[in-house]
A = this chain, B = another copy of it.
Amino acid sequence: MGDFRLRVFYVVAREGSFSRAAAELHLSQPAVSLQIKALEEEYGQRLLDRTARGARLTAAGERLYRQARRILQLYQEIEAELLSPPALSGELRLAASSTLANYLLPAVLAGFQSEWPKVRLVLASGNTRQVAQWVREQAVPLGFVEGPCALPGLKVQRLAQDELVVVRGRRFAALRTPFSVGDFLSLPMVMREPGSGTREALEAALRAAVPGKLPQVAMQLGSTEAVKTAVELGIGLAAVSRWSVEKELRLGTLLAVEVQGLALRRQLFTLYPQGPAPGGVAGQFLAFLRRALRAQRLARTGV
> Any chain B CB within 8 A of the CB of A172?
no
Cα(A279)–Cα(B60), bound, Å? 11
Q: Which of B60, B70, B77 contacts A85 (CB 8 A)?
A: B60
> Any chain B CB within 8 A of the CB of A64?
yes
Chain B: minimal CB distance from A28 (Å): 21
> Any chain B CB within 8 A of the CB of A276?
yes
> Any chain B CB within 8 A of the CB of A23?
no
A96-138 CB mask vs B (1 if < 8 Å, else 0) is 0000000000000000000000000000000000000000000
Residues on the B chain within 8 Å of A42, using CB? 1, 287, 290
Chain B: minimal CB distance from A243 (Å): 23
Q: A-side binding surface: helix, strand, loop or mixed?
A: helix
Please tell me if the beta carbons of A283 and B1 are within 8 angstroms of each other in the complex: no
A32-46 CB mask vs B (1 if < 8 Å, else 0) is 000001001111111
Copies in the complex: 2
Cα(A40)–Cα(B276), bound, Å? 10
Chain B: minimal CB distance from A48 (Å): 11
Please tell me if the beta carbons of A44 and B285 are within 8 angstroms of each other in the complex: yes
Please tell me if the beta carbons of B3 and A277 are within 8 angstroms of each other in the complex: no
Residues on the B chain within 8 Å of A6, using CB? 3
Contacting residues of chain A (1-47) with chain B, CB-CB under 8 angstroms: 1-3, 6, 37, 40-46
Chain B: minimal CB distance from A288 (Å): 7
Chain B: minimal CB distance from A181 (Å): 38
Please tell me if the beta carbons of B64 and A82 are within 8 angstroms of each other in the complex: yes
Cα(A63)–Cα(B80), bound, Å? 11
Please tell me if the beta carbons of B44 and A287 are within 8 angstroms of each other in the complex: yes
Chain B: minimal CB distance from A157 (Å): 9
Please tell me if the beta carbons of A276 and B46 are within 8 angstroms of each other in the complex: yes
A66-77 CB mask vs B (1 if < 8 Å, else 0) is 010011001101
Residues on the B chain within 8 Å of A83, using CB? 43-44
Cα(A40)–Cα(B40), bound, Å? 30
Given contacts A41-B286, A43-B82, 5 further A-B contacts (CB under 8 A): A2-B3, A41-B277, A43-B287, A45-B280, A60-B85
